[in-house]
Amino acid sequence: MPQLILHGNPRSNLVRTCLLALNEKEVDFEHDPTVPQTPEALQRHPWGKIPTLTHGEILLHETLAIINYIDDSFSGLKLKPNNPSKLALMNKWLSIYLCYMDNPIIRVIVIQRLLSKSPDENLIKNTIPDAEKPLKLLDECLEKSNYIADSEVSLADFFILPALDYLKMTNEGVQLLKDTSNINSWIDRMMARESSIIVFKPNN
């Protein structure tokens, strides 16, 4: 069987999503830590973004496509619920993350606070309400079950966890998450999983 290769810097939250899925499924893979916008990245992604995946003749980009391929192509723990209503709930949260969480949490708060030498304070301040709403909804969701879509972990958990791990490293994140006890308990459960221990180890 051809070697599966995940391409992308392990500090990327979306690369970490793919790494979590691969480790949960216990897939034998190689990790190529390509950074965005390099000639190598542009060969595999029209916009030079990460992550991408190669598996023999298969080339995939976009995180949703990659993690679905990983779950559907390999045996082991299934990362999508069989129950249609729970599967729909998982897909709802994947959409919520992409539409309403990624931009305020990662593209603004995390990038401005952790990567920018001159953070845009007004932008950060004005973005806080946009981050609060989905976090409130997520906290309410996690009041009903241990994981986002079911009593078992799913792709939705792996999509959201890396973003909130970075959010917690900012002062704004500390404030946003201080009263979300259900989210905080979920983060603790997720971080205790063997896949998380591997992916979030300090040298990553």
Do 65 and 88 sit in the same domain of this protein? Answer: no
| Containing structural domain, residue 102 | 84-193
Scored b (16 or more CB within 10 A) or e, 144-157 reads eeebbbbeebbbbb
**Residue 201 domain flag:** no
User: How does pLDDT run across 28-67, given as a tens digit for each residue?
Assistant: 999 999 999 999 999 999 999 999 999 999 999 999 999 9
Q: How confident is the model at residue 203 (pLDDT cuts 50, 70, 90)?
A: low
| CATH code of residue 19 | 3.40.30.10
Do 93 and 62 sit in the same domain of this protein? Answer: no
Do 96 and 182 sit in the same domain of this protein? Answer: yes
**Residue found under tokens 């994947």:** 94
**Residue 204 domain flag:** no
- The enclosing H or E element of 53 equals strand 52-55
Do 127 and 164 sit in the same domain of this protein? Answer: yes
Please count the structural domains in the chain: 2
Do 99 and 54 sit in the same domain of this protein? Answer: no
User: How does pLDDT run across 79-128, given as a tens digit for each residue?
Assistant: 999 999 999 999 999 999 999 999 999 999 999 999 999 999 999 999 99
Other C-beta atoms within 10 Å of 160: how many?
Answer: 27
Do 89 and 175 sit in the same domain of this protein? Answer: yes
Do 38 and 100 sit in the same domain of this protein? Answer: no
Do 120 and 142 sit in the same domain of this protein? Answer: yes
Do 148 and 180 sit in the same domain of this protein? Answer: yes
Domain end among 18, 44, 73: 73
Our CA angle for 79, 192, 22, nearest 5°, is 35
Do 56 and 111 sit in the same domain of this protein? Answer: no
Domain end among 45, 73, 101: 73
